[in-house]
C-alpha cells in the first residue's frame, strides 16, 4: 500500500524559519567537533517541481510515473557525497573523541557503530576524498544520527523528492537542464570503472557536485513502485516521503561510475538489490554492510529550522527504532 508520510512535526524537519535570506547554492561549512573534518552545505530553495518523468522520456522506466507536482520546503544539502575521511570517525572509535556540540547527549562509547565488514565494502577502491561506499541505508542513517549529535543540528538522508528536486536544480529536461550530462558526472563512458574524488566534476546550478554519477546515493524513502500515484494532482503534495526508512526495500538515486548515461537522468530510480550482498555468508546478512555495492554511497540534508537535542533524538528514535 502506498503511503505518503510528511516530514513536518515536532522535530523541525521542514521548518522554513530563518531561511528567507538564503540564496540558491549559498554554502555553509559545519565543523564536526572533535575531528579534523567538516561538511559543506549548499542551500536548496523552497519550490514546486514536477516529480517523475513523462512517458516519452528516453530511457524511462514504468516506476518513474505518473508525474506529480510536489512542493518542498527549503533545505541544506551536502555539496557532495560523504567521503571516506568524513565517515571514518563514525566507523572507527579510535578516530572519534568525546567532544561534541551537545556533550550532554553524546557519549563516544555508547554510539551505535557498524560492525567490521565481512569483505572490504570499498572493493579496494581509494578512500580519503573519495565517497564512502558499501554501507546499508540503516548504516547511513546511523551516521546521520552521530553527525547530528556531534554538530547539534539535524542531519538525515534526503527524501526521494528532495533528491530529485536538487538534481534538477530548477532546470528542465531529463538531466535537469544539462546539455551534456557527462560534463558533471563520472559514469561508464569516462570513469574507468572506479569512483573519483568528490567534487572533481562541475557542479549543478545550485552548487551540488556528483548528484549524477560517481556513486549512487541512498534516499530516506523505501522503494514504492507506484508511490506518486497516491499523491494528489491538485494541490501539489507537500514534503512527501514513502515507505519505511530502515525496513523493507530501499532505493538509490543518481547512477554510479559503472552506469550508462540513461541512469543519470534525474528521475531514474534504482531499487535495492539482493546481489549487493552476494558475497555475505552471514545468516542473517549484515545490517551494516553490503559486500557488493562499491557503487553506492550517500549524502545528507539538514533542514532550515533549528531542532532541539530532544527533537533530534526523538526523530531518530522514530526512524531507527531498534534497528
Domain ranges of the chain: 27-320
CA-CA distance, 315 to 274, in Å (whole number)? 28
Nearest Cα neighbor of 274 from 285, 283, 282, 263 is: 285
- Predicted confidence at residue 2, as pLDDT, reads 32
The alpha carbon of residue 19 and the mean position of all alpha carbons in its chain are separated, in whole angstroms, by 21
What are the residues facing 68 on neighbouring strands? 51
Mean pLDDT of the chain: 90
Tell me the CATH class for 27-320: alpha beta
- Predicted confidence at residue 323, as pLDDT, reads 58
Model confidence at 310, pLDDT cuts 50, 70, 90, reads: very high
Kindly list the distances between the CA atom of residue 105 and the CA atoms of 14, 102, 310, in Å, as whole numbers in the listed order. Answer: 23, 6, 9
Q: Are 180 and 208 in contact (CB under 8 A)?
A: no
Checking 108-114 for CB contacts under 8 A at 24+ apart, the result is 111/146, 112/142, 112/145, 113/142, 113/146, 114/139, 114/142, 114/288, 114/289
- Predicted confidence at residue 206, as pLDDT, reads 96
Q: Are 253 and 167 in contact (CB under 8 A)?
A: yes
Name the 3-class secondary structure at 25: coil
Q: Model-level pTM?
A: 0.93
Model confidence at 282, pLDDT cuts 50, 70, 90, reads: confident
Res 11 pLDDT > 60: no
Amino acid at each position: 500500500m502506498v503511503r505518503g508520510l510528511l516530514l513536518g512535526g515536532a522535530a523541525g524537519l521542514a521548518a522554513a524559519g530563518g531561511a528567507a535570506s538564503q540564496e540558491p547554492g549559498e554554502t555553509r561549512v559545519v565543523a564536526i567537533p572533535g575531528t579534523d573534518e567538516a561538511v559543506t552545505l549548499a542551500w536548496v530553495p523552497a519550490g514546486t517541481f514536477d516529480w517523475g518523468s513523462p512517458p516519452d522520456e528516453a530511457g524511462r522506466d514504468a516506476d518513474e510515473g505518473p508525474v506529480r507536482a510536489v512542493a518542498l520546503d527549503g533545505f541544506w544539502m551536502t555539496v557532495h557525497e560523504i567521503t571516506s575521511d568524513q565517515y571514518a570517525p563514525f566507523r572507527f572509535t579510535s578516530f572519534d573523541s568525546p567532544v561534541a556540540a551537545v556533550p550532554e547527549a553524546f557519549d563516544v562509547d555508547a554510539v551505535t557503530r557498524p560492525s567490521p565488514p565481512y569483505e572490504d565494502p570499498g572493493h579496494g577502491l581509494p578512500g580519503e576524498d573519495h565517497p564512502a561506499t558499501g554501507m546499508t541505508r540503516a548504516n547511513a542513517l546511523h551516521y546521520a544520527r552521530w553527525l547530528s549529535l556531534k554538530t547539534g543540528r539535524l542531519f538525515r538522508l534526503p527524501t526521494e523528492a528532495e533528491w530529485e528536486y536538487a538534481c534538477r536544480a530548477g532546470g528542465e529536461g531529463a538531466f535537469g537542464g544539462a546539455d551534456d550530462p557527462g560534463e558533471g558526472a563520472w559514469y561508464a563512458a569516462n570513469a574507468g570503472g572506479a569512483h573519483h574524488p568528490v567534487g572533481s566534476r562541475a557542479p549543478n546550478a545550485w552548487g551540488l557536485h556528483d548528484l549524477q554519477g560517481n556513486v549512487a546515493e541512498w534516499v530516506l524513502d523505501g522503494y514504492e513502485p507506484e508511490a506518486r500515484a497516491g499523491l494528489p494532482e491538485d494541490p501539489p503534495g507537500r514534503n512527501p516521503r514513502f515507505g519505511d526508512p530502515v525496513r523493507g526495500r530501499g532505493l538509490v538515486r543518481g547512477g554510479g561510475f559503472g552506469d550508462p548515461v540513461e541512469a543519470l537522468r534525474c528521475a531514474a530510480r534504482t531499487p535495492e538489490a539482493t546481489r549487493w550482498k552476494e558475497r555475505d555468508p552471514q545468516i542473517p546478512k549484515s545490517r551494516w554492510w553490503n559486500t557488493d555495492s562499491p557503487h553506492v554511497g550517500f549524502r545528507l540534508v539538514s533542514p532550515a529550522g533549528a531542532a532541539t537535542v530532544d527533537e533530534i533524538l526523538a526523530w531518530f528514535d522514530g526512524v531507527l527504532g531498534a534497528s
